[in-house]
Amino acid sequence: MDDEAKPNPNAEGNTNAAFAAEEAASSPPPPSSSESAEERAKEEEETGDLVEQLVELVEEIAAISDFRNAYRRQFCNLSRRIRLLAPMLEEAKEGPWPLPEASYSALRRLREALADSRELLRLGGSGSKIFLVLEREKIMKSFQDITARLEQALGFISFDELDISDEVREQVELVHAQFKRAKERSDPSDDDLFNDLLSIYNSSTSANVDQDILQSLSEKLQLVTISDLNQESLILHEMASGGDPGGVVEKMSMLLKRIKDFVQSRDPETGTPASTTELSGKDNMASPIVPDDFRCPISLDLMKDPVIVATGQTYERGCIERWLEAGHDTCPKTQQKLPNKSLTPNYVLRSLIAQWCEANGMEPPKRAAQHHNAPASCTAAEHSKVVELLQKLSSQNLEDQREAAGMLRQLAKRSPENRACIGDAGAIPILVSLLSTVDVSTQEHVVTALLNLSIYEENKARIITSGAVPGVVRVLKRGSMEARENSAATLFSLSLVDENKITIGASGAIPALVHLLSNGSQRGKRDAATALFNLCIYQGNKGKAVRAGLVPILLGLVTETESGMMDEALAILAILSSHPEGKTAISSANAIPMLVGVIRNGSARNKENAAAVLVHLCNGEQQQQHLAEAQEQGIVTLLEELAESGTDRGKRKAIQLLERMNRFLMQQSQAQAQAEAMAQAHAHAESQAQVVNEAQSQAEMQVEQLLLPTSSHLSDGRDD
């Protein structure tokens, strides 16, 4: 009976008799007189369970409140009417059991309708406010469907069979009548709210959005404080964890970002315009728009302590920690499953954010105290286990060393507490001393254990001061492929601390990383690329990387699409192009056509990096040559598109290139006009000279004619 077709919501005149007839037609025959007491007891138990479930559903619905959204009245009415059913269900618990099949089936229908009502009310109480407006047709259809189902389920219930008192019966009949009227009446949705959201979504930039519309939306949606906005952002990421096939969550995130930009330009606590003393810009101008790359994808706020998760995405530490503590095991942005929950500080981005704040006259964000992130001290048993492993690691027995190194590798992988415990126990100097072991397996375990330990910040300093870098570089040059991969990853992890970039660069690691990038496994190439990218942020390492032959390898990875390394290669090229040697090497490789091709067909991030390389190439001695070559490749239209629809950084680079290209084209036009003018002047001078020559020739001819003897000299004849 649970999978029977639902009654038509628009059908009128349903009666208990009709419903009973329907049930009788599809019900099993009545039990025989020999039916056992055990079967009757089972039926009574099922009826009791069903009523208990109904009571629990009503209690859960009663606990849902705070409907602060566009459908507040509808949600409140639905919740209030359902709560009024509680007395009937309480009396039904004491009623006669088992119930007739018709009443039992009617209660099952009521349970299904109440379960769906609970989900709808949960959406209204804790769901996305923007979603409720954008999906208004679905929401209103859900209201109508649930209202009709509740009305019909109540109409099929027999008060006599449930032994309901007259007072409660009158109350339920009133609720039934209210559901019936609500079913026949369609509440209008807020068209203005929906249209305002669409107008914001269709605006090309935040600057084009009407501030009055944003003010109205912020108030109607109850998104007036930073706390409100952060809560909405978290809800959107929760929704995205189930996939976003229609792009609805992406659309809502963009709308939320624009509302948040508006709210942040006002007092974050009250939503009123900030006072003139609080404005940081000159002449009381609004705060600059924060670039998307500097915002946490969860909170949409400027990041104070950016950290990288296992998928490579960056988040504000506090936001991603709350996400993980809530039980999620996926990356909020990509929805990929996280292989681990380690968080690596993004020092590069933190530095860029500080530079941006300084350039815009803003106070750089300060990180919150990290005391709550420090791993708890390990237990005595855990410490004893680590000490036992270190004793084995220090022995001269090769098998003991291999086993202990492997165990430490696994322990260090599991948790921050283990990493802290192992580091505190003094394991790092012993591990470093075994980097030179001739046993391949032990060496692999040792370098991987150091990699896992380096994730914990305090262990980075311990590894450096233990003199590990030369040993790690030796493994990078001569170890097995697995050991080389993990050596590169270790150098990357250590290089996250700025001063370590200098130490690692001076150790001879860069040529070895370049070799691994060229000849390693796919994983080894990625580890090498990541380490090289981080090391080359330090200006002193860029020249070393170029002299090690990095540029041709990177250009090859860009053109070989099957390598899957285009993203990493272009990111490193963008860094190297700011160095004179890097710029010369890229220029010598005739890379302009390839870079223009990336801007034409690449991903948004790759277009951005290709444009960044071109900005450096099209500057200095060979600027004219490179601009001319880029123009021949049809770059102008591509840059115009990138300036309109690229990433924030991509837009800036495209605008820089367009400005230089416009100056170049203007100079070309002026030079061409000057050349044409000179040619015209030369032609005019030649024409004038020709006229003068012709005039002189005519004058000479006239003189010669005057000097010739005339015919009169011969008219008298000769005197013989």
The 10s digit of each residue's pLDDT in 585-600 is 998 888 889 999 999 9
Q: What does the block give as tokens for 543?
A: 């020249």
pLDDT at 18: 36
In this structure, are residues 633 and 592 in contact, taking their beta carbons and an 8 Å threshold? yes
Q: Which residue has the higher pLDDT, 43 or 139?
A: 139
d(Cα 318, Cα 80) in Å, to the nearest integer?
38
| Residue 67 DSSP label | -
| Predicted local distance difference test score (pLDDT) of residue 272 | 41
Range of lowest pLDDT (210-214, 241-245, 373-377, 415-419) = 373-377
Strand 306-308 and strand 314-316: the pairing is antiparallel
Listed ranges 151-160, 592-601, 658-667; the one with the highest mean pLDDT = 592-601
Using one digit for the tens of pLDDT, what is the confidence trace for 382-428? 778 888 899 899 888 999 999 999 999 999 988 888 898 898 888 99
pLDDT tier at 512, thresholds 50, 70, 90: very high
* From 89-93, 259-263, 269-273, the region with the lowest mean pLDDT: 269-273
Helix (H, G, I), strand (E, B) or coil at 71: coil
In the chain, where the domains are located: 39-184, 191-265, 292-360
The answer regarding whether domain 292-360 maps to CATH 3.30.40.10 reads yes
Q: Please give the share of the chain, as a percent, with pLDDT higher than 90.
A: 22
**C-alpha to C-alpha distance for 214 and 271, rounded to whole angstroms:** 11
Q: What is the pLDDT of residue 69?
A: 63
Mean pLDDT of 675-695: 71
pLDDT score recorded for residue 377: 53
Distant-in-sequence, close-in-space partners of 218: CB < 8 Å, separation ≥ 6: 224, 259, 262, 263, 271
Spatial CB neighbours of 179, under 8 Å, sequence gap ≥ 6: 81, 147, 150, 151, 154
Per-residue HEC secondary structure of 287-320 comes to CCCCCHHHECCCCCCECCCEEECCCCCEEEHHHH
pLDDT confidence of residue 223: 73
Q: Please report the pLDDT score of residue 112 as a whole number.
A: 92
pLDDT at 651 over 70: yes
Nearest to 644 by CA among 630, 635, 655: 655
Long-range (24+ apart) CB contacts under 8 A made by 659-664 are: 660/618, 660/619, 660/623, 660/627, 661/618, 661/627, 661/630, 661/631, 661/635, 661/636, 664/623, 664/624, 664/627, 664/628, 664/631
**What residues have CB less than 8 Å from 650, skipping those under 6 apart?**
604, 607, 608, 611, 642
Residue 613 scores a pLDDT above 50: yes
Rounded distance, CA 605 to CA 519, Å?
Answer: 26
* Rounded to 5°, angle at Cα 693 from 691 and 696: 110
Q: How far apart are CA 559 and CA 564, in angstroms?
A: 10
Q: What is the pLDDT of residues 173-191, one digit of tens each?
A: 888 888 888 876 655 556 6
Higher-confidence residue of 573 and 221: namely: 573
DSSP conformation letters of 143-208: HHHHHHHHHHHHHT--HHHHT--HHHHHHHHHHHHHHHHHHH--PPP-HHHHHHHHHHHH-SSGGG
Query: Which is more confidently placed, 284 or 396?
Result: 396
Q: What's residue 240's pLDDT?
A: 60
Predicted pLDDT at 47: 58
**Model confidence at 341: pLDDT above 90:** no
- How many other C-beta atoms can be found within 10 angstroms of the C-beta atom of residue 138? 11
Q: What SS3 state is found at 344? A: strand
| CA–CA–CA angle 10, 14, 19 (5° rounding) | 125
Q: In what order do the strands lie in the sheet with 314-316?
A: 314-316, 306-308, 344-345
Task: Work out the mean pLDDT of the chain and round it to a whole number.
Answer: 78
Under the banding of pLDDT at 50, 70 and 90, the label for residue 274 is very low
Q: How many residues does the chain have?
A: 720
How far apart, in whole angstroms, are the C-alpha atoms of residue 104 and residue 50?
A: 8
Least confident of 451-455, 580-584, 663-667: 663-667
- Alpha-carbon distance 54 to 115, whole Å? 9
For residue 270, pLDDT beyond 50 = no
pTM of the complete model: 0.48
**DSSP tag of 31:** P
> Which has the minimum average pLDDT: 25-39, 425-439, 496-510?
25-39
Q: Computed over its alpha carbons, how large is the radius of gyration of the chain?
A: 40
CA 248, CA 275: separation in Å to the nearest integer? 36
Higher pLDDT, 14 or 503: 503
Token code pair at residue 311: 């998928």
Higher pLDDT, 243 or 681: 681
In terms of pLDDT, which residue wins out, 496 or 38? 496
Q: Is the dihedral of CA 392, 393, 395, 396 positive or negative?
A: positive
* pLDDT at position 432 over 90: yes
User: pLDDT grade, residue 489 (50/70/90)?
Assistant: very high
pLDDT at 188: 55
Instruction: Please report, as a single letter, which amino acid is at residue 78.
Output: L
- Rounded alpha-carbon distances, angstroms, from residue 306 to 297, 351, 354, 355, 375: 11, 10, 12, 15, 19
**Six-digit token pair at 580?**
């004179």
Yes or no: say if 71 and 124 are a contact pair by the CB < 8 Å rule: yes
First to last CA, the chain: 162
